[in-house]
Amino acid sequence: MLLGSAVAGYAWTLRAQRRQLERLLDAADAKLERLQRQFERFVPSDLVERLTDVGDELKPARRYVTILFADLRGFTALCDRLDPAVTVDILNGYFGHMIEAITQHHGHVTELVGDGLLALFGALQPNPWQARDAVLSALAMRSALARYNQTLLARQLPELRFGIGIHAGEVIAGIIGTGALSKFSVTGDPINVASRVEGLTSAMQVDLLITEVIRDRLGDDFDLAPMPATLVKGKAAPIRTWTVRADAVR
């Protein structure tokens, strides 16, 4: 009987320990999930998943990516006239619309700097249709901005205008920075070119410019107009660009 009581007591202890372990596991699981969800606000969810699953396998690599730069025109001057809270509210609304247009077309926004954004296509996963996706994104951004401007006008706020530059090329992609401050990003000459091309939109009085490498990958589906070849900083030869007038035609 004594042995029986000891066995029963041991079984009860084991059961209690098992329940405690299960509770601990549930709590750890819920915490990890919350952490992942929070982390996804700052970096693409695909990247969070890969970092969680493969750990340190996300090594820096050369990748062919398409880069989209977008910048608001005249927004700095506008900031001086508006209440800071209103300015931030306008910007947040703008970024919300733009990010949605980009993610719907397989891109991800990697940087928000002031009123500018940098989006990449094909950086996290190989994407055979990255040039097309970037241009479709830009066209969706154009439509989204028109819709957003309607809401701004209704609130008696000034309309926004943007410039977008799209280019592609081989970059180095990876986690860049130190332990204290690091992020997934890309570096390389094509990034600078995309930024310069975005800068040309103002002078050429268009909202969207693509380079020759992008045009060559689009086929005949888009209504394009050639722009004058222009010399940009850091390039010996002038860059040829096209503006995209309309959606894919088929």
Partner 1 sequence: MALLLDEIAWSEPLLAADPDPAWTAELKRRGAHVFEVDRRVAASPWLREAAYSVTSYVPSEISERQLHMGAMIIAQENACRYCYGANRAYMKVLGYSESFIQNIERDVHVAEMDAKERAAIAFCRNLSRSRPRPARDTIDQLVGLGFTRLQVNEMAFLIAFGCFYNRLATLMACPPERSFEAMANGPVGRLLGLVVPLWGRLTHAGARRASTDVPLEATALKAGPFGSVVALLAGLPAARIMKAALDGAFDLPLISRPAKALMFAVVARTLDCGYCEGEAAQLLADEGVDAAEFDIAMDTLGSTRLRPDENAMVAWTRETVSYETAAIQRQTRSLGAGLNRAVLLEAIGVAALANATVRLAMLRE
Catalog residues that contact partner 1 under the rule CB under 8 A. 22, 25, 29, 33, 36, 45, 48-49, 52, 104, 125-126, 128-129, 132, 217-221, 250
Rounded-to-integer distance, Cα 250 and Cα 199, Å: 31
| Least distance between partner 1 and beta carbon 179 (Å) | 24
Complex with partner 1: residue 107 or 163, whichever CB lies closer: 107
Give the SS3 label for residue 213. helix
Nearer to partner 1, 219 or 228 (CB): 219
- Cβ atoms of residues 101 and 205 within 8 Å: no
Bridge partners (DSSP) of residue 232 are none
Q: Which residues pair with 121 in a beta bridge?
A: 66, 107
Identify residue 159 by its one-letter amino acid code. Answer: E
Report the residue number, 161 or 217, with the smaller CB distance to partner 1.
217
- The Cα–Cα gap between 190 and 210 comes to 12
Min. distance of Cβ 49 from partner 1 in angstroms?
5
What is the closest distance, in whole angstroms, from the C-beta atom of residue 20 to partner 1 in the complex?
14
Q: Report how far residue 17's alpha carbon sits from residue 242's, in angstroms, rounded to the nearest whole number.
A: 68
In the numeric block, the tokens 């990034």 are attached to 191
Least Cα distance to 197 among 109, 108, 71 occurs for: 71
Residue closer to partner 1 by CB (options 219, 238) is: 219
Beta carbon of residue 248, minimum distance to partner 1 (angstroms, whole number): 8
Closest contact distance (angstroms) between CB of 29 and partner 1 is 6
Q: Whole-angstrom Cα distance, residue 222 to residue 249?
A: 6
Amino acid identity of residue 44, one-letter, is P
Q: How far is the CB of 140 from partner 1 (least distance, A)?
A: 14
Nearer to partner 1, 96 or 238 (CB): 96
**CA angle, 77 then 192 then 108, to 5°:** 80
Question: Is there a contact between 141 and 134 (Cβ–Cβ < 8 Å)?
Answer: no
* CB closer to partner 1 out of 142 and 217: 217
